[in-house]
């Protein structure tokens, strides 16, 4: 049995009734939508409320781009994608430096975790996850084990996981 998270696309069909002369004729229509998405948990809304518009938009953009383990790679290419997205879809113009500062704010408030290398980040599964609850629990356990085993020194790691 497929769950919502296992399917890539959902095909939705509906009937529209259109008047044609004296008769009402059924017209069948269908669209395909993506079934993949992320879920917001716990007090993420309160954390988002403290952010400016740039950081909030970047956060949602990053959540769309993360893989199924909540991982993202913070590179110039990702920042460029965000700048182009904001320009095309929101008519907003950002510089690379502005996006870097917004990303740093996301790390500071604990919505994004930097626990290993310089460019590898994880969107905090305590607040956001793309997948099932079982996979979310596994990822959180893995992050805590990483903290214990590698003696991570990144300052926001314990704060982000609420340890």
Question: Residue 103, Cβ neighbours under 10 Å: how many?
Answer: 23
Residue pLDDT, tens place only, 19-43: 777 776 666 666 666 556 788 887 7
Radius of gyration (C-alpha) of the chain in whole angstroms: 20
Task: Tell me how far CA of residue 126 lies from CA of 16, 33, 96, 140, in angstroms.
Answer: 42, 27, 28, 7
Strand partners, 18: 25
- The CATH number of the structural domain formed by 40-161 is 1.10.10.10
pTM score? 0.73
Stronger pLDDT, 26 or 122, i.e. the higher one: 122
The domain segmentation of the chain, as residue ranges, is 1-36, 40-161
Q: What is the pLDDT of residue 87?
A: 94
């Amino acid at each position: 049995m497929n769950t919502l998270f296992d399917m890539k696309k959902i095909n939705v069909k509906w009937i529209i009734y259109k008047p044609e002369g004296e008769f009402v004729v059924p017209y069948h229509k269908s669209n395909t939508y993506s079934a993949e998405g992320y879920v917001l948990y716990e007090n993420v809304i309160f954390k988002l409320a403290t952010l400016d518009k740039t950081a909030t938009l970047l956060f949602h953009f990053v959540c769309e781009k993360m893989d199924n383990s909540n991982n993202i790679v913070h590179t110039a290419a990702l920042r460029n994608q965000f700048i182009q997205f904001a320009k095309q879809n929101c008519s907003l113009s950002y510089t690379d430096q502005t996006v870097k500062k917004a990303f740093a704010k996301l790390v500071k408030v604990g919505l994004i975790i930097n626990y290993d290398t310089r460019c590898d980040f994880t969107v905090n599964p305590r607040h956001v996850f793309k997948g099932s609850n079982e996979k979310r629990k596994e990822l959180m356990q893995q992050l805590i084990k990483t903290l214990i085993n590698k003696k991570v020194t990144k300052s926001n790691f314990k704060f982000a996981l609420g340890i």
